[in-house]
């Protein structure tokens, strides 16, 4: 059956979301229809609104969520109606080169970077006012019901609190994994984290779990410092307090350099600063923030020639379908906490207020 429900539709760029009645088609073969219970707001959603991440309109955004399976299409074996699940914006098809390689996690079936906004079969499951509405990176969670491909959903512990573990669908896993999986932070090392939003704070948590002895948090918003320290940061600095480049400040603070650095903002200038502050021969710098569209980086290649590694990390390097249930299990065993990452809980019809809070750094 087609389900009629409410969704936050973005009709065009730089406009607020509009709460509309949409029609959600039933799942086709190897697809799953999910009742969304909780959804986080992520900067990547905002990137679409302002045009920094190019997607087709009209679109239903949202990609960090948790819900309950409502129905499944033919051939679906990994979940059944009633299961608690997390949709995966990085799917895991199990067949492409990245899925088959132990080092890879960016499945070729992802819609990231293609901007197609459609299901794998090239069509959409959403209609509003007679118009087809595009999907967002295979998830589209700012709606009461969504349809995802079976490769883009993970079944989780039925006792998990969905309003907390929804963060494992993006922000937490992305930051935590960037430290543990991508950088492989070592005990006793020194780390610098640029950007202290939810993902940056999750990087701090990952560095702490990995045993880093010094974690330097960098942000221009000092309101973020108390929480960063609560989660494991040993030092917090704002570039606004210095009249020299921040990478020079970090080099002085650490008597030479950091071992690992993380850019968790999505700005080209901070990406280069993060690269420059890590150890010239064996330092590792990881780009976690989504790079802005149409911007290029110019940098001195000597920064890499001396031996530094510059890496990118999507979804924390986790193989999504395998890792998400395990991360939820770790949360249930209290191996990490999510509460400090949740600042506000709003009814979802107040989604525009939620984005205002995001933009003002609150």
Residue pLDDT, tens place only, 172-187: 999 999 999 999 999 9
Which of 99, 107, 170, 236 is catalytic? The answer is 170
Residues in the chain: 362
Residues 6+ apart with CB under 8 A from 190: 212, 213, 214, 215, 216, 254, 258, 259, 260
CB 155 within 8 A of CB 43: no
Residue 110 pLDDT > 90? no
Residue 47 among the catalytic residues:
yes
Residue 63 among the catalytic residues:
yes
Cis peptide before 166 (omega within 30 of 0): no
Q: Is there a domain that residue 177 lies in?
A: no
Residue with tokens 């395990």: 326
Residue with tokens 């880093």: 212
What was the pLDDT predicted at 73?
97
- On whether both 328 and 305 belong to a single domain, the answer is no
Please report, rounded to a whole number, the percentage of residues in the chain having pLDDT higher than 70: 99
Q: Is there a domain that residue 96 lies in?
A: yes
- On whether both 213 and 307 belong to a single domain, the answer is yes
From residue 58, alpha-carbon distances to 20, 28, 135, 296 in Å are 12, 22, 9, 28
Q: Which domain holds residue 121?
A: 3-171+317-360
- On whether both 116 and 236 belong to a single domain, the answer is no
Over residues 210-223, the mean pLDDT reads 97
Which of 39, 63, 135, 257 is catalytic? The answer is 63
Q: Is there a domain that residue 12 lies in?
A: yes
Two tokens at 230?
């609560």
- On whether both 64 and 166 belong to a single domain, the answer is yes
| CATH code of the domain containing 271 | 3.40.50.720
- On whether both 159 and 28 belong to a single domain, the answer is yes
- On whether both 126 and 43 belong to a single domain, the answer is yes
Residue 51 pLDDT > 90? no
What was the pLDDT predicted at 332?
98
- On whether both 74 and 160 belong to a single domain, the answer is yes
Which of 47, 135, 149, 247 is catalytic? The answer is 47
- On whether both 270 and 133 belong to a single domain, the answer is no
Intra-chain end-to-end CA distance of the chain, in Å: 40
Number of domains the chain contains: 2
Least confident of 19-23, 106-110, 258-262: 106-110
Q: Is there a domain that residue 128 lies in?
A: yes
Which of 44, 151, 202, 313 is catalytic? The answer is 44
CB 320 within 8 A of CB 88: yes
Residue with tokens 């936050």: 8
- On whether both 324 and 308 belong to a single domain, the answer is no
- On whether both 18 and 152 belong to a single domain, the answer is yes
This prediction's pTM? 0.95
Residue 134 pLDDT > 80? yes
Residue 170 among the catalytic residues:
yes
- Identify the domain boundary among 293, 312, 331: 312
Which of 42, 93, 166, 191 is catalytic? The answer is 42
Q: Is there a domain that residue 178 lies in?
A: no
Comparing C-alpha atoms, which of 46, 181, 175, 180 is closest to residue 105? Answer: 181
- On whether both 332 and 279 belong to a single domain, the answer is no
User: What is the rounded distance in angstroms from the CA atom of residue 123 to the CA atom of residue 140?
Assistant: 14
What confidence tens digit (pLDDT) does each residue in 152-206 have? 999 999 999 999 999 999 999 999 999 999 999 999 999 999 999 999 999 999 9
Q: Is there a domain that residue 124 lies in?
A: yes
What was the pLDDT predicted at 217?
98
CB 264 within 8 A of CB 195: yes
- On whether both 272 and 235 belong to a single domain, the answer is yes
What was the pLDDT predicted at 361?
87
CB 125 within 8 A of CB 119: yes
Long-range contacts of 79-82 (CB under 8 A, 24+ apart): 79/32, 79/150, 79/153, 79/155
């Amino acid at each position: 059956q087609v389900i009629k429900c409410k969704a936050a539709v973005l009709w065009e760029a730089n406009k607020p979301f509009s709460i509309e009645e949409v029609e959600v088609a039933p799942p086709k073969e190897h697809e799953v229809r999910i009742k969304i219970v909780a959804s986080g707001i992520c900067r990547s959603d905002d990137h679409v609104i302002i045009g920094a991440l190019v997607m087709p309109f009209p679109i239903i955004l949202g990609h960090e969520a948790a819900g309950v399976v409502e129905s499944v299409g033919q051939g679906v074996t990994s979940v059944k109606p009633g299961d608690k699940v997390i949709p995966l914006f990085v799917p895991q098809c199990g067949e492409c080169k990245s899925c088959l390689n132990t080092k890879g996690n960016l499945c070729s079936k992802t819609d990231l970077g293609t901007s197609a906004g459609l299901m794998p079969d090239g069509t959409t499951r959403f209609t509003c006012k007679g118009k087809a509405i595009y999907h967002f990176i295979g998830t589209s969670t700012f709606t009461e019901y969504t349809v995802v491909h079976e490769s883009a959903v993970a079944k989780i512990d039925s006792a998990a609190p969905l309003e907390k573990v929804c963060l494992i669908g993006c922000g937490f896993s992305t930051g935590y994994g960037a430290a543990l999986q991508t950088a492989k932070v070592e005990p006793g090392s020194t780390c610098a984290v640029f950007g202290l939003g939810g993902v940056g704070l999750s990087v701090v948590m990952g560095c702490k779990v990995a045993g880093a002895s010094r974690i330097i948090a960098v942000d221009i918003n000092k309101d973020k410092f108390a929480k960063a320290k609560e989660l494991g940061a040993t030092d917090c600095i704002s570039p606004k307090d210095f009249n020299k480049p921040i990478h020079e400040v970090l080099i002085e603070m650490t008597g030479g350099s950091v071992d690992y650095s993380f850019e968790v903002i999505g700005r080209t200038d901070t990406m280069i600063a993060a690269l420059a502050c890590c150890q010239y021969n064996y330092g590792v710098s990881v780009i976690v923030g989504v790079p802005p569209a149409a911007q290029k980086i110019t940098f001195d290649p000597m920064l890499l020639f001396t031996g530094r590694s510059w890496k990118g990390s999507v979804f924390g390097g986790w193989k999504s379908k395998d890792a998400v249930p395990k991360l939820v299990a770790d949360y249930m065993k209290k191996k990490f906490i999510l509460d400090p990452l949740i600042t506000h809980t709003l009814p979802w019809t107040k989604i525009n207020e939620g984005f205002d809070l995001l933009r003002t750094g609150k």
